[in-house]
Amino acid sequence: MSISSHFDPDGKAHMVDVTGKAVTVREATARGDVTMSAQTAAMIQRGDAKKGDVLGVARLAAIQATKLTPQLIPLCHAIPIEAVNVDFQWPTEPCDGVSHATATLRCRVTVRTSAKTGVEMEAMTAVSIACLTVYDMVKSVDREISVGPIELLAKSGGKSGDFRRQSP
């Protein structure tokens, strides 16, 4: 039985030693959804939420979250964040002339670095915080908002190679 690299032979948690690993370009992309009422989505799209520019604040929160990841997740290495791209989309669904009661906002974050360890956790943390920020900014008008799923879409670089999620 193999044990996770985050545990020593005695089963105690420890930070993985990356001193012998090569510095490579690493990239990770994650996404998360925020589902809300159609009225809340329209308010965000119009830009008239009482707390201000919902997507602008959520974008800044995502970027900040990448930098704070090692403070939030105990065994993450502090690595240089060299690029963060945050994108929000309103996926369109076929409506056949029927008005939908809910709308989904999709957040997608790509993080890049040149380091000895990957940025998957930074990308997933950024998406999580962006989605939670959207919730925080509009919760006073819509308590039915749901967040998730949050998932890693792709990662590249490093010894373990590339990963690309198979499901859409």
Told to judge if 136 belongs to the known catalytic residues of this protein, a careful annotator would answer: yes
Cα-Cα-Cα-Cα torsion 11, 12, 13, 16, nearest 10 degrees, comes to -80
Q: Which of 74, 75, 151 is nearest to 120 (CA)?
A: 151
As to burial, measured by CB atoms within 10 angstroms (0-12 exposed, 13-18 middle, 19+ buried), residue 19 is exposed
Q: Of these residues, 10, 48, 96, 136, which one is catalytic? A: 136
- Angle separating helix axes 38-46 and 120-138, nearest 10 degrees: 100
Tokens of 107: 């957040």
Cβ(154)–Cβ(60) below 8 Å = no
H/E run at residue 42: helix 38-46
Tokens of 37: 């009422």
Cβ(33)–Cβ(104) below 8 Å = yes
Q: Which residues are catalytic?
A: 136
